Amino acid sequence: MSVEVAAPSCNNDENGESHNKQQYVIPSFLDVLLQSEFRILHQPPPLQANETQDDRDFVDHLLDTCWDATVSRSLLNSHEEDEGKEFTYGEITPTGVRQLLEDLELLTIFEDDSNSTDKEEVVFYDLGSGEGKLVAQVFLETLSTCHDNDKTKPKDRAILKRIVGIELSPARHAMAVHSWNALQQALLPSQAEKKNSHHQDYPSEADSDPEGIPASPAVLVDLQEAKASLRAKFATANRNTVELVHGDLSQLDFSDATHIYASSIFFPPPVLEAMSQTIMDYSTAHGKLKMVAALSDLELLETEDSGWEKRVQRLQMSWGGANVRLYSPKDY
């Protein structure tokens, strides 16, 4: 089963019948669900050395709260329908993001290394970042597991320099910006907390972002320590690390990337080919790129002389699961 998306321009033959110049065939969600190749059981990664299950639960709570699924679906589908387009959207789950970070070797890279003198810089790009939830979670996960805010522990051997999401859809980009702002509002002290030396553990509903987040302290009864820890780290973190960009990835420069994730299931073939060629060019010219994860095959990276290796893992997605193709230079 597939969905054919016709190119907007067409020609009429001598009988007056219209013929599309080009058609792109993109997989339906049923196609994705029925993938039989590389069905690999992939469990959530174990807790990291500086992480608790409460840390993960609190991150999940924040994502659920700040990215309201009902509002998001309503706004985004309404926008697409106004343009006469059919809109289908799915995303990687919080567990899937953790699986992805493990596959990209971005969990262990932040382990303690007291003997390290130079920090390795990590630049992560999400190509086709949608509502920006993955970008935000990558930021939160590194805050949860890093040690730099704890002066009693060794410094981490890597630093996450940039986390960039690139999204073509203006509606999804707008939702990403809105939700990221809501998350920041949830983690920063409320006005009441700033005035009160005996800070509340969580903003009251009256102190919530007027456009965003109703407080839900009952949900957080068992997560107070995790919340306090993450908020303390967030207060001193460089939030400018996160960048949400509205644009066409084929027109943007991501040559500083060390790690890339492409939610590419619905990318038309010309976009996939152009992206693959750009990745090849960047790798040759700059040598910074260490790993690429994509939800579809990047055929240029699979040729015998490409210099890249491929393996496949399974990620948890909102529709069930998907095979992620992991590419790394052979000399990495």
> pLDDT digits over 251-286, tens only?
999 999 999 999 999 899 999 999 999 999 999 898
Per-residue pLDDT, 177: 95
Q: Which amino acid is at 301?
A: L
Residues 190-215 have pLDDT tens digits of: 765 665 645 444 444 334 443 444 44
Residue with tokens 């290796």: 309
pLDDT at 41: 55
What pLDDT was estimated at residue 286?
87
The candidate with the shortest Cα–Cα distance to 159, out of 199, 109, 204, 115, is 109
pLDDT at 320: 86
pLDDT tens-digit map of 144-171:
766 444 444 445 567 889 999 999 999 9
CATH fold label, 39-329: Rossmann fold (3.40.50)
Single pTM value for the model: 0.78
Domain boundaries, the chain: 1-34, 39-329
Q: Using one digit for the tens of pLDDT, what is the confidence trace for 100-154?
A: 999 999 987 765 555 555 678 999 999 999 999 999 999 999 887 664 444 444 4
d(C-alpha 33, C-alpha 101), whole Å: 22
Burial class (CB in 10 A: 0-12, 13-18, 19+), 70: exposed
Task: Scan for tokens 């084929």, then name that residue.
Answer: 250
CB-side exposure of 291: number of CA atoms within 13 Å?
Answer: 16
For the record, the structure tokens of 216 come out as 């839900």
